């Protein structure tokens, strides 16, 4: 069996991802967290759910990060969660310390692993992960576009009263308020949503997508989203482990594509056994390209703050 280690596995996103991976039955799962006993307990709990849920994956937990040795993929969900009124960039300095430490451990103990980053601010932390690990860019990516696109799909389906699984969407840019949903690339069973709803409705759904994470934070009051982020991270891990070559929007390193230079930002990629096997360049309008560059510029500014 392949091995996937989830660093931050004691938290809600990590534990949710652990459950989804176990139920897929494509790998063994290791939950890693600094909170002693928490990852061990959640791992044991997930292991005991196996006979009922019908999976044979081995699930365990540890507070010793050296146990990630031999991992095929390391999923990084660790970090401080957002609180109401807190922007993703407010988390910058704190989470850079956390992610930097994890990156050094991955470099030491799992030097051949692929890394999928979920920690916020997502694009900046993914850049930081690659910088500290020194890994080639195709092995380090961030999960954001899959989540933003899933939210857009869910809102479109609810608005139209259609099956959510029939909706496909593409959201580019940084994982924040400057993200770039592309309505003309959103479809319901192949039918563009621009043929199914008016411009004002689309713009309302686009704006809700941009604020999707904050809407959940405001409702929960003491935490942030975890079921959908965990599911979306697993979709990326699956594509690597099963070499499915999914075309997904993800935070990938760009130094040339879309006229971008030295930045991690959400773009469409082909994701397979080689990691980020290709950045797919969609034909964008000038307005869409400007929005993407504006979003990437915000990421670069935040990276510059880290020094």
pLDDT tens digit sequence for 250-271: 999 999 999 999 999 999 999 9
**Spatial distance between the Cα atoms of 105 and 7, rounded to a whole number of angstroms:** 11
- What is the rounded end-to-end Cα distance, in angstroms, of the chain? 40
CB–CB of 276/240 below 8 Å?
A: no
- In sequence order, the β-bridge partners of residue 168 are 187
Active site residues: 175
**C-alpha to C-alpha distance for 203 and 195, rounded to whole angstroms:** 14
* SS3 at position 90: helix
Residues 281-293 have pLDDT tens digits of 999 999 999 999 9
Q: In this model, does residue 82 exceed pLDDT 90?
A: no
**In 211-285, alpha helices (H):** 212-220, 227-241
Q: If you average pLDDT over residues 70-98, what whole number do you get? A: 83
The overall average pLDDT reported for the chain is: 95
Tally of CB atoms within 10 A around 158: 12
Is pLDDT at 87 greater than 70 in this prediction?
no
pLDDT digits (tens, 9 = 90+) for 205-258: 999 999 999 999 999 988 899 999 999 999 999 999 999 999 999 999 999 999
Question: Residue 252 gets which letter from DSSP?
Answer: E
Helices in the chain by DSSP H: which ranges?
Answer: 12-24, 38-53, 92-109, 122-133, 145-160, 199-210, 212-220, 227-241, 286-306
Q: Which two tokens stand for residue 134?
A: 């020194």
Give pLDDT, residue 54.
97
Confidence check: pLDDT of 65 > 90: yes
State both tokens at 299. 């990421």
Question: What is the pLDDT, as a whole number, of residue 52?
Answer: 98
275's tokens: 């990691």
Domains of the chain: 2-142 (3.40.50.720), 145-306 (3.90.110.10)
Helices (H) and strands (E) in the chain, counts: 9, 14
On whether the CB atoms of residues 126 and 264 are closer than 8 A, the answer is: yes
Tens-digit pLDDT profile for residues 158-191: 999 999 999 999 999 998 888 999 999 999 999 9
d(C-alpha 188, C-alpha 43), whole Å: 38
Instruction: Tell me the average pLDDT across 76-104.
Output: 83
What b/e readout covers 271-286, taking b as 16+ CB neighbours within 10 angstroms?
bbeebbebbeeeebee
Most confident range (mean pLDDT) of 87-91, 111-115, 301-305 is 111-115
**Contact indicator for 178, 159 with CB cutoff of 8 Å:** no
Give me the phi and psi of 104, to 5 degrees please.
Answer: -65, -40
The confidence band for 305, taking pLDDT boundaries of 50, 70 and 90, is confident
Average pLDDT on 294-306 reads 93
pLDDT at 86 over 80: no
Q: Cα–Cα distances in Å, from 28 out to 20, 31, 32, 54, 283?
A: 12, 10, 13, 14, 40
| Tens digit of each residue's pLDDT (9 = 90 or more) over 109-130 | 999 999 999 998 999 999 999 9
Give the pairing type, strands 191-192 and 187-188.
Answer: antiparallel
Stretch 88-93: mean pLDDT? 73
Distance (Å, whole) CA 100 – CA 78: 11
Position 90 pLDDT exceeds 80: no
Q: What is residue 83's predicted lDDT score, i.e. its pLDDT? A: 65
pLDDT at 93 (0 to 100): 85
User: Residue 161: what pLDDT?
Assistant: 98
């Amino acid at each position: 069996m392949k091995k996937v280690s989830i660093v931050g596995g004691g938290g809600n996103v990590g534990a949710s991802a652990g459950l989804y991976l176990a139920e897929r039955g494509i790998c063994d799962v290791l939950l890693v967290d600094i909170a002693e006993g928490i990852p061990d307990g959640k791992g044991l709990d997930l292991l005991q759910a196996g006979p009922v849920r019908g999976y044979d994956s081995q699930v365990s937990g540890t507070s010793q990060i050296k146990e990630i040795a031999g991992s095929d993929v390391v999923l990084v969900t660790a970090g401080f969660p957002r609180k109401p009124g807190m922007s993703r960039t407010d988390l910058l300095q704190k989470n850079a310390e956390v992610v930097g430490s994890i990156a050094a451990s991955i470099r030491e103990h799992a030097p051949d692993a692929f890394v999928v980053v979920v920690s916020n601010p997502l694009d900046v932390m993914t850049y930081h992960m690659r910088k500290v690990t020194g890994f080639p860019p195709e092995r380090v990516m961030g999960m954001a576009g899959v989540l933003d696109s899933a939210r857009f799909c869910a809102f479109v389906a609810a608005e139209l009263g259609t099956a959510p699984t029939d909706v496909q969407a593409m959201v580019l840019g940084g994982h924040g308020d400057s993200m770039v949903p592309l309505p003309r690339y959103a479809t319901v069973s192949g039918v563009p949503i621009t043929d199914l709803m008016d411009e004002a409705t689309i713009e309302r759904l686009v704006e809700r997508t941009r604020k999707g994470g904050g809407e959940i934070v405001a409702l929960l009051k003491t935490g942030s989203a975890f079921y959908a982020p965990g599911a979306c991270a697993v979709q990326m891990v699956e594509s690597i482990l099963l070499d499915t070559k999914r075309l997904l929007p993800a935070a990938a390193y760009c130094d040339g594509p879309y006229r971008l230079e030295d930045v991690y930002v959400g773009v469409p990629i082909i994701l397979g056994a080689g990691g980020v096997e290709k950045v797919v360049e969609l034909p964008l309008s000038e307005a869409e390209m400007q929005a993407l560059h504006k979003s990437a510029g915000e990421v670069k500014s935040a990276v510059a703050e880290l020094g």
